[in-house]
A = this chain, B = another copy of it.
Amino acid sequence: MTDPVTAATEPPADPEVPDVRALGARLSNWGRWGADDERGTTNLITPARIVEAAKLVRTGEVFDLGIPLDSDGPQPGGFRVNPIRLMSENGQEQELPGGLTWADDYVFMPLQAGSQYDALSHIHYDGRLYNGHPSRDVTSKGAQRCGIHTQANGITGRGVLLDIAGLNGVDWLPGGHLISPADLEEAERAHGVTVGPGDILLLRTGWWRKFTSDRDATAFMDTEPGLGLACAEWLRDRDVAVVGADNHAIEVVPGENKAGMFELHMVLIRDMGVTLAEILDLEALAASCAADGVYEFLYAGSPLKFTRAVGSPINPLAIK
């Protein structure tokens, strides 16, 4: 997501736009998996569903959905920078037994600099995290509740791609383009696939393709095509486990409510407990799906087990 700190002062609420707190309350998953739950909708990925998902492996083709982690990434600087990797050893100037030489490297990076999961502790409001955990549990030492390490045993299951850009016949949808539930259902029909409980839903907007075309990090972060608030209810009805996309925030930016910001994040993460996967590269996967007409696959994308972190870099695999 772009830097909330730069946000302007609040205009009056738009009566046409759902109130985020009312929407969140209506769609809430708090308590659904117990008062202590920290994982949210990834609980929907049951063993039985994983067994079914594995059956989707038919050709053995693998697609890696992570973007490269290096200084050419989509962070324009400011609240996040691109990863900085430095060599501590490069094999030169070594005199080791037996003539061994070796190399080693370090990285300094924001955990959400590139392809990433948002932990459920990443977004909060009104003093509460997902499942009612107090926001003050996110301290200078990290997330005492809902850290990304609580998702470490996942995330694998049935993946479904909805290629909204492809469906519209464009390389990418424009910044600010809102995707509606009707768009999602049209994609389902076109792709011959139905999104259901426990699915990892991947949305292609073309926004990453735009970045690889123009390398304009500021433009990548300033706006984007993405889901509108009405999609929250649709995702709740379908009981989706994870939502991923090739943009930086899943949702349309700027959002519908000019007096708010990242309101779909507020509902999905804090009220519904949905893990988001952002800044994915879906280009090769989408091309394959278009070629063979199969838009479902086994998804295997674990977070790194950073204790109490509010996010993790990822490189998920889609296996067809």
- Which residues of A are interface residues toward B (Cβ below 8 A)? 1, 4-5, 7-10, 20, 46-51, 54-55, 57-64, 66-71, 76-94, 96-112, 115, 121-126, 135-136, 138-143, 149, 152-154, 156, 257, 259-263, 265-266, 298, 300-311, 313-317, 319
Contact = CB atoms under 8 A, between A and B. Distances in A.
A104 B81 contact: no
Contacts of A319: 50, 54, 156, 300
Number of this chain's copies in the assembly equals 4
A139 B92 contact: yes
B102 A110 contact: no
Which 8 A-B pairs give the minimum distances between C-beta atoms? A47-B60, A98-B260, A54-B57, A300-B300, A50-B60, A70-B307, A86-B86, A93-B139
Contacts of A9: 97
27 contacts: A5-B94, A47-B59, A48-B60, A51-B58, A54-B54, A62-B153, A64-B153, A67-B305, A68-B149, A76-B77, A77-B82, A84-B108, A86-B86, A87-B142, A90-B138, A97-B261, A98-B266, A100-B266, A101-B125, A101-B135, A105-B142, A106-B111, A156-B319, A300-B300, A300-B302, A300-B319, A304-B304
A77 B81 contact: yes
B143 A103 contact: yes
B98 A104 contact: no
Contacts of A68: 149, 305-307
